[in-house]
Amino acid sequence: MDTASDKTGVSSLPVQQEIINFIRENFIAGRSDVSFGVEDSLIETKIMDSTGVLELVTFLEERFSITIADEELVPENLDSVKNLVNFLRSKGIE
Amino acid sequence: MGYEHNVLALNPGHECDRICAFIREQVYTVYRRSGIVVGLSGGVDSSVTAALAVRAIGRDNVVGLVLPEKESNPVSSRFAAGHAAALGIACREIDITPTVDSVGGYAWRDEYISRLVPGYGPGCKYNIILPSDLLDRDAFSFYTLQVQMPDGSLKKKRLSADTFRALAAFASIKIRARMVHLYWEAERRDMIVAGTTNKTEFILGDICKYGDAGTDIEPILHLYKNQVYQLARYLDVSKEIIDRQPSPDTFSLPVSDQEFFFRIPFEKLDLLLYSWERGAKVEEAAAALSLGEDAVRRAFRDFTSKNTATAHIREVPRALP
């Protein structure tokens, strides 16, 4: 399994790294025992909860100056680092 | 292990006896008090709890409190008072509006909403809802603020984490105000407070810390909502209460428990939750409940998310050993 700090799996590293940093700082800060891969579900691994999804959306909208529609708030777009990077790419964020 | 539709069927007589023995032991042996105070909301959970308390320790030792505030549905108080009368228990109705207002609640809330939805003001009503039926359509649990304008039109605004927290904190003032009134009544009467939370609410976190979770005993906490209904029918709770759509009754614009929190109809929710608690495989639960695997997967993911987010409510405050 790729780890979140690996360079494999997704090519747009700067965006990926920003997402990883956000997750580390906001969802697992101070927990050295938690690691996650870029394809891991953030919900199923209990890294992100229902309120965390809202925090993540605010971060994405503000950091990348995008608007995320209600219909886009689905796991396919937001539930792993890889999905997030691909979702941002679909919004023109590389 | 089976996850079929009859797995939550109770022997209601046996279950009532078991709960009543628990209540008697708690009141007279553990707490050594004289009776029970229970908040009556006009819903099925508090109605069943009060009926069980009467069955356990007698109507003279049970007090019902009806605790509306200015935005409560008037039907709630009417049903609650009617149930207390049917049980023959002492009942008081106390308007908690001044208590909520003493925290600065309503004015603060109104100003907050008016910043989110320009035009919000007198004559407007509001609620917050989650995306509808999770079994039909995938979506994370994000809240939308709905404001009904005086002309009946609806304005909607998706809530961020910060705005959700603020509105939830305000809603919790109402629930905690009820806890204060319940204990004021119970302690001066040498009684204990019985909670009315069921297992479905408890596992998924549809409870308020130091609000409806602030109690002395929880007589129906081990029962899924579906099982509470089974006891309600056995205990002859009125049809109007049993047939009433469950609601938090916390917002000025009515909203059901399903719209506000659960996202799944109760008849399916409890069986899914039962399966999830026991670590059922998605395909196993889907087959047993005649649901699609994607639907079950979404439900399980939502359970995990809610259970994780609300874990702190189910624990006592942490401390060093």
**What band does A9 get if pLDDT is binned at 50, 70 and 90?**
very low
Q: Does residue A1 lie in a domain region?
A: no
pLDDT digits (tens, 9 = 90+) for B149-167: 999 999 999 999 999 999 9
Q: Are residues B185 and B239 in the same domain?
A: yes
Q: Does residue B50 lie in a domain region?
A: yes
pLDDT of A30: 77
pLDDT of A3: 45
Q: Does residue B55 lie in a domain region?
A: yes
pLDDT of A31: 79
pLDDT digits (tens, 9 = 90+) for B58-70: 999 999 999 999 9
Q: Are residues B121 and B246 in the same domain?
A: no
Q: Are residues B159 and B98 in the same domain?
A: no
- Of B218, B252, B286, which marks where a domain is finished? B252
pLDDT(A13) > 80: no
Mean pLDDT value of segment A77-86: 96
**What band does B1 get if pLDDT is binned at 50, 70 and 90?**
low
Cβ–Cβ < 8 Å for B71, B252: yes
Q: Does residue A6 lie in a domain region?
A: no
- Domain CATH number, residue A51: 1.10.1200.10
**Helix residue ranges, H only, B96-238:** 97-102, 105-116, 161-188, 199-204, 225-234
Q: Does residue A8 lie in a domain region?
A: no
Task: Burial-class residue B74 by CB neighbours within 10 Å (0-12, 13-18, 19+).
Answer: exposed
Among the ranges given (A6-10, B14-18, B89-93, B138-142), the one the predictor scored with the smallest mean pLDDT: A6-10
Q: Does residue B52 lie in a domain region?
A: yes
Task: Burial-class residue A79 by CB neighbours within 10 Å (0-12, 13-18, 19+).
Answer: buried
Q: B162 contacts in A (CB within 8 Å)?
A: 58
Residue A77: both structure tokens together: 């777009």
**Beta strand segments in chain B, E:** 35-39, 62-66, 90-93, 125-129, 144-148, 154-158, 191-194
Q: Does residue B285 lie in a domain region?
A: no
Q: Does residue B83 lie in a domain region?
A: yes
Q: B161 contacts in A (CB within 8 Å)?
A: 51-52, 54-55, 58
Domain count, chain A: 1
H-run or E-run covering B151: none
The arrangement of strands across the sheet holding B125-129 comes to B125-129, B144-148, B154-158
pLDDT(B315) > 80: yes
Residue numbers of the domain that contains A82: 13-90
Residue B246: both structure tokens together: 């469950």
Whether A31 contacts chain B with CB within 8 A: no
Domain count, chain B: 2
**What band does A2 get if pLDDT is binned at 50, 70 and 90?**
very low
Q: How many CB pairs under 8 A join A and B?
A: 60
Q: Does residue B304 lie in a domain region?
A: no
Q: Are residues B54 and B93 in the same domain?
A: yes
Q: Are residues B98 and B197 in the same domain?
A: yes
Q: A53 contacts in B (CB within 8 Å)?
A: 140-142, 305
pLDDT(A10) > 50: no
Write the ipTM.
0.78
Q: Are residues B36 and B59 in the same domain?
A: yes
pLDDT of A46: 86
N- to C-terminal Cα separation, chain B: 39
pLDDT of B132: 84
CA angle B42, B212, B56 (to 5 degrees): 65
The per-residue pLDDT of chain B, averaged, comes to: 95
pLDDT(B3) > 90: no
Residue B250: both structure tokens together: 């916390």
Q: Does residue B290 lie in a domain region?
A: no
Half-sphere exposure of residue B107, counting CA atoms within 13 Å on the CB side?
5
Mean pLDDT value of segment A66-87: 95
Residue in chain B nearest A58 by alpha carbon: B160
DSSP B167: H
Q: How far is CA A91 from CA A38, A72, B31, in A?
A: 19, 11, 61
Distance, CA of A91 to CA of A67 (rounded, Å): 9
Task: Burial-class residue B313 by CB neighbours within 10 Å (0-12, 13-18, 19+).
Answer: middle
Cβ–Cβ < 8 Å for B142, A70: yes
Residue B8: both structure tokens together: 């939550």
Mean pLDDT value of segment B285-314: 93
Report the 10 Å Cβ neighbour count for B125: 16
Whole-structure pTM value: 0.90
**What band does A51 get if pLDDT is binned at 50, 70 and 90?**
confident
Cβ–Cβ < 8 Å for A33, B291: no
pLDDT(B5) > 80: no
**Residue % of chain B over a pLDDT of 90:** 91
pLDDT digits (tens, 9 = 90+) for B104-113: 779 989 999 9
Q: Does residue B279 lie in a domain region?
A: no
pLDDT(A11) > 80: no
Q: Does residue A5 lie in a domain region?
A: no
Cβ–Cβ < 8 Å for B85, B237: no
Distance, CA of B268 to CA of B250 (rounded, Å): 25
Q: Does residue A50 lie in a domain region?
A: yes
Residue B215: both structure tokens together: 């109690």
Residue numbers of the domain that contains B123: 105-164
Q: B301 contacts in A (CB within 8 Å)?
A: 41, 43-44, 75
**Surface of B (28-87) touching A: CB under 8 A:** none
**Residue B301 to residue A55, Cβ atoms within 8 A:** no
Q: Are residues B176 and B242 in the same domain?
A: yes
pLDDT digits (tens, 9 = 90+) for B225-262: 999 999 999 999 999 999 999 999 999 999 999 999 99
Of B159, B301, B306, the CB nearest to A44: B301
**What band does A55 get if pLDDT is binned at 50, 70 and 90?**
very high
Mean pLDDT value of segment B192-206: 97
pLDDT(A1) > 50: no
Cβ–Cβ < 8 Å for B140, A49: no
Q: How far is CA B168 from CA B113, B159, B165, B173, B198, in A?
A: 12, 11, 5, 9, 20
Q: B165 contacts in A (CB within 8 Å)?
A: 51
- Of B124, B146, B164, which marks where a domain is finished? B164
Q: Are residues B179 and B149 in the same domain?
A: no
Mean pLDDT value of segment B9-13: 97
